[in-house]
Chain A
Amino acid sequence: MLPERTSNPLKSFRIGLAQISPHLGDVARNIQKHLEFIAEAEAQDVDLLVFPELSLHGYYLEDLVAETACRLDDSRLEPLLAASESMSILFGMVEESADRRFYNSGVYLEAGQVHHVHRKVYLATYGMFDEGRYLAAGEHLRAFDTRFGRCGTLICEDFWHPSAVSIVHADGADLILGISSGPGRGVSGESQDLRSAETWHNLNNLYARMCTNYVVYCNRVGYEDGVNFWGGSEVVGPDGSVLVRAPYFEEALVTAEISADALRRQRSLLPLLRDERLDLTYRELRRIYRGRYE
């Protein structure tokens, strides 16, 4: 018998999105803010609380990257680890590796431990973004098992590469955890919505439907040097329906119920995952790869 794609089916649970405005480069104050949102989420019986990209640091750090980066064994993280005994937590930070590289990481805490780390693969380095100047790029895209089922973390620009979503999907993630420091741009009257918000809502909807997955998107708010981060964090169900959406521009804690039954229903109605041809995808990618690199 062939091994099962996933041995850890999705369970029903309550997810919380902590849409915060971090203080730029002030880790101590941001940890305090995390603890306040954790306390509020605990009062609302949240099982997994998600913070935005670089929630511990803020976004436009520039040379502050090297000065404020934390190792995963940094004692300042202890209160967050302690909180994760009862509630799982995903947050963002500048992670300093053993060989002194700095990564834009999504750190998943569970049962008092660092359970998984995703290092942002696609560093945004163009236009208003300059991540590649200061940060090292991650080398892995992996789904991972949690007490709620199999998840995959992606960070902001990772989401703009459908291959990244496809890989964690193929790796068995039923829940995609997207964290972001998404700046708000585009205020033309052509649209009712902020242009960046419209694009993200489209992406989240598309990926949820195509993967028949839950897609979680936690974006930050606040301003850094005049740039606004628009918020609008949301949980999108496997049928593309928006289960909850946070307000724009304001800090908020919103929650949603992740339902194992809803996932099963959608995959019964629309068996995209059943029909997915990983073998064919692999063969064709291998052919393309050989033609290009060998």
Chain B
Amino acid sequence: MKIELRTDLIAKARTALDLNLPLTKEILHSFVRNEVHKFGFTRAVLNLSGGIDSALSAYLAAGALGPANVLALLLPYRESNPDSQADAETVVEALGIPSKLMDITPLVDPYFAEFADMDVKRRGNVMARARMIVLYDQSVAFNSLPLGTSNKTELLLGYSTLHGDMASAVNPIGDLYKTQVRQLSRHLGIPEAIIEKPPSADLWPGQSDESELGFAYEDVDHLLYLLVDERYRSEELLASGFETQFVEDVTRVVQSMQYKRRPPIIAKLSQRTIERDFRYPRDWGR
């Protein structure tokens, strides 16, 4: 039996992940328009971090709904990298969308003061959830739906805060791997500096996605594509020459983070339980 070589599998993944960009753009524009309009809204709001993911969501929303109908929230903390805010402002300017700058420090510091022993992760999660509070509140003030900014790689790896940056009503980029986010961002003309800078959640100084995750996005995207989209089994990938530790780590993380991708579990008692056997589409009657 001929075993597929790792290099061949990576080449296969690279080719498959290479997007038909005009088509992808058309589908996502029409997705945003449809899923926002059918709920009776014409506007959307999103948290613009200065990173590539929220920049892409903003560009897609502005293209779909018109720039005046997309509100960007810039929500720095006092320790946030000032470059993040500057990059977010570049996006706001380039798109001509309305924006609101609001420092979340007074929102979270009193809470942090109560718990001196909080590690950076807890603090980061609190900040992400504080930004969610602002996002959802401003969505009401702006009469709009909150847009998601989580990509497929981070959703699969659970590299995001539950009820924090994962919270949204409509997510246009959740089925795009990080490397595809970069392709589409280039296609839409997002400034190169935002595309090229090392990805970071900027929840503490010097934080970097790739050093925290332990692998490069390009490598993990290829592996995830083979595991998730093509349904290769780990054994097949190991036989082809993929590194054992890498495959094991990634498969374990995808499994252990499943809880973040599902609604909370409900103890079943009745004949019809929400999610289990009370099943309705989100777009019910739309």
Contacts and interface: CB of A to CB of B under 8 A. Distances in A.
Given A189-B19, A192-B20, A224 B281 contact: yes
B30 A225 contact: no
A56 to B, nearest CB: 14
A291 interface: no
Interface string A150-190: 00000000000000000000000000000000001001111
Interface residues of B, number: 25
B22 to A, nearest CB: 10
A68 to B, nearest CB: 10
Contact of B281 (A61, A228, A249): A61
Contact of A23 (B16, B17, B31, B285): B285
Nearest to B35: A223
Given A187-B24, A188-B19, A190-B16, A223 B281 contact: no
Interface string B135-172: 00000000000000000000000000000000000000
B2 interface: no
A282 B284 CA distance: 46
A225 B38 CA distance: 11
B280 A63 contact: yes
Given A223-B34, A223-B35, A228-B31, A187 B284 contact: no
Contact of A25 (B17, B27, B285): B285
Interface string B203-221: 0000000000000000000
Given A189-B21, A190-B16, A225 B279 contact: no
Contacts of B249: none
A3 interface: no
Given A63-B280, A223-B31, A249-B30, A191 B20 contact: yes
A24 interface: yes
A276 interface: no
Nearest to A192: B20
B188 to A, nearest CB: 15
A262 interface: no
B273 to A, nearest CB: 12
A126 to B, nearest CB: 12
B16 A228 contact: no
Contacts of A24: 281, 283-286
Contacts of A222: 34
Interface string B1-22: 0000000000000011111110
Contacts of B278: 63
Interface SS of A by simple majority:
loop
A196 to B, nearest CB: 11
Given A25-B285, A187-B27, A188-B15, A226 B35 contact: yes
Given A63-B278, A228-B27, A228-B30, A25 B284 contact: yes
B26 interface: yes
Given A184-B27, A190-B15, A249-B27, A224 B283 contact: yes
B2 to A, nearest CB: 23
Nearest to A63: B279
A249 B28 CA distance: 11
B282 interface: yes
Contacts of B38: 223
A194 B19 CA distance: 11
Contacts of A194: 20, 23
Given A184-B27, A226-B35, A228-B31, A60 B281 contact: yes
B127 to A, nearest CB: 28
A188 B180 CA distance: 10
A226 B34 CA distance: 9
B85 to A, nearest CB: 31
Nearest to A24: B283
A78 interface: no
Top 9 A-B pairs, shortest CB-CB distance: A223-B34, A62-B279, A189-B18, A60-B281, A187-B24, A189-B20, A225-B282, A63-B279, A24-B283
12 contacts: A23-B285, A24-B281, A24-B284, A64-B281, A64-B284, A187-B27, A189-B18, A190-B16, A194-B20, A223-B38, A224-B283, A249-B30
Interface of A: 23-26, 60-64, 184, 187-194, 222-226, 228, 248-249
Interface of B: 15-21, 23-24, 26-27, 30-31, 34-35, 38, 278-286
